Every structure is written in structure tokens, then in C-alpha cells.
């Protein structure tokens, strides 16, 4: 029996980044909640996903596409995708994706054995090795060059972040 995932997209607040003030009203966000399914291909998101966008999102298709790309890259890179991903613009030139529940069973076991540092080190090694794929995905979606890419992992809480700084549109 193959195990896959299905996507549903909607507004989500748990990863509240940069809210408040005048800039907060311009921030976009999309959240993809991934549910395990028995019949779906584990390498591809379900194309029939139900999509709901945050009405405050000035560019909902961009954040939705970045979220979907992050899920695909995680599946490709780590063998399983996150169960949640929240992507939003933080100002005009930065996109942040926060991905939850993406550690594999082996990584969770290592974490529980006190090897969180080793899990983080291996994840960061993979992130560094595949950085061009992450940059290319966001550049293709936004039509803008990625001038900075940062990746982080909180092993204890099973949260990852991908931060993309885009070349200013004025450039």
C-alpha cells in the first residue's frame, strides 16, 4: 500500500510573522495542511486540493505556489513532506515559509535519543547542497532573483523555516 499526501490550502495564524503596524496589512500568507492519504503518489501534491486564500494577501497565488514548492522540495529531499506550511511576504522583498512536522521517523528517534544537534547538522548539510533548487523554485514563481537564502530548523519543536530575500523590484 503506497502512502501519499493531499493538500488543502487556507489561512492560518500559528506562524504569525511580522504582523502589526502598517506593514502587517500588506503581508500575504498561505497555509497548506498536508494530510496522509493511502492512494496518492507520495512525491506529488494532490492537484485537486481545495484552495482558500487569506483575504489580506495581496499576492495569494505567489504564496500558495511557494508553499507547494516547499512541500515538493521537502518530499524530494527528505523523503516526506511537512504536515503544515505557512508562507507569507514580510515586506516587499522577503518571503518566509515555516514548515511543521517534517522530521522523519529516524530523525525523531535520534532527537529523542538526545541527538538533536546531529539531526540539525544533517538537515543543514542537505539544505546547503540543494540550495540552488530552493532558489530556482522561488525565482521561477516570483519572477525575481533570490539574493539571499536562509534555512533554519528547530528540532525540538519540529519546525523549519526557509527565508528568501528577493532583489528589489526597483533594481
State pLDDT tens for residues 3-42.
343 344 443 333 333 333 333 333 344 444 444 333 344 4
Give the pLDDT of residue 170: 76
Residue 158 lies in a domain: yes
Q: Where are the beta strands (DSSP E) in 62-107?
A: 84-89, 94-100
Task: Give residue 125's pLDDT.
Answer: 94
Give residues with Cβ within 8 angstroms of 58, minimum separation 6: 26, 28, 89
Q: Is 103 contained in some domain?
A: yes
Residue 68 within a domain: yes
Q: Does residue 99 lie within any of the structural domains?
A: yes
> 60-71: b or e for each residue (b if 16 or more CB lie within 10 Å)?
bebbbbbbbbbb
Phi, psi of 45 (to 5 degrees): -65, 150
- Does 154 reside within a domain? yes
pLDDT digits (tens, 9 = 90+) for 72-125: 999 999 888 898 998 999 999 999 999 999 999 999 999 999 999 999 999 999
Q: Give the mean pLDDT of 118-139.
A: 95
Distance (Å, whole) CA 37 – CA 153: 26
Radius of gyration for the chain, computed over Cα atoms and rounded to the nearest angstrom: 16
Cα dihedral: 112, 118, 121, 122 (round 10): -80
Provide the residue range defining the domain that includes 48.
4-166
Reduced to 3 states, what is the DSSP secondary structure of residue 70? helix
171 in a structural domain: no
- Check residue 129 and give its pLDDT: 93
C-alpha cell at position 10: 487556507
**Residue 83 domain flag:** yes
Has residue 52 been placed in a domain? Answer: yes
Identify the residue with better confidence: 159 or 24: 159
Domain total of the chain: 1
How far apart are alpha carbons 171 and 167 in whole angstroms?
7
pTM higher than the cut 0.85: no
Could you tell me which residues come within 8 angstroms of residue 118 by beta carbon, excluding any fewer than 6 positions away? 110
Amino acid at each position: 500500500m503506497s502512502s501519499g499526501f493531499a493538500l488543502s490550502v487556507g489561512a492560518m495564524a500559528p506562524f504569525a510573522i511580522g504582523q502589526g503596524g502598517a506593514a502587517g496589512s500588506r503581508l500575504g500568507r498561505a497555509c497548506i495542511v498536508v494530510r496522509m492519504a493511502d492512494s496518492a503518489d507520495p512525491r506529488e501534491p494532490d492537484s485537486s486540493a481545495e484552495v482558500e486564500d487569506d483575504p489580506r494577501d495581496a499576492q495569494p497565488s505567489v504564496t500558495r505556489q511557494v508553499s507547494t514548492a516547499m512541500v515538493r522540495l521537502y518530499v524530494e529531499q527528505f523523503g516526506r513532506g511537512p504536515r503544515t506550511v505557512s508562507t507569507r511576504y514580510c515586506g516587499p522583498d522577503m518571503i518566509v515559509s515555516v514548515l511543521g512536522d517534517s522530521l522523519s521517523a529516524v530523525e525523531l528517534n535520534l532527537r529523542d535519543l538526545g541527538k538533536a544537534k546531529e539531526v540539525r547538522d544533517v538537515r543543514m548539510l542537505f539544505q546547503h547542497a540543494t540550495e540552488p533548487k530552493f532558489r530556482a523554485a522561488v525565482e521561477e514563481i516570483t519572477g525575481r532573483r533570490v539574493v539571499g537564502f536562509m534555512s533554519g530548523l528547530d528540532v525540538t519543536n519540529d519546525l523549519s523555516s526557509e527565508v528568501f530575500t528577493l532583489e528589489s523590484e526597483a533594481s
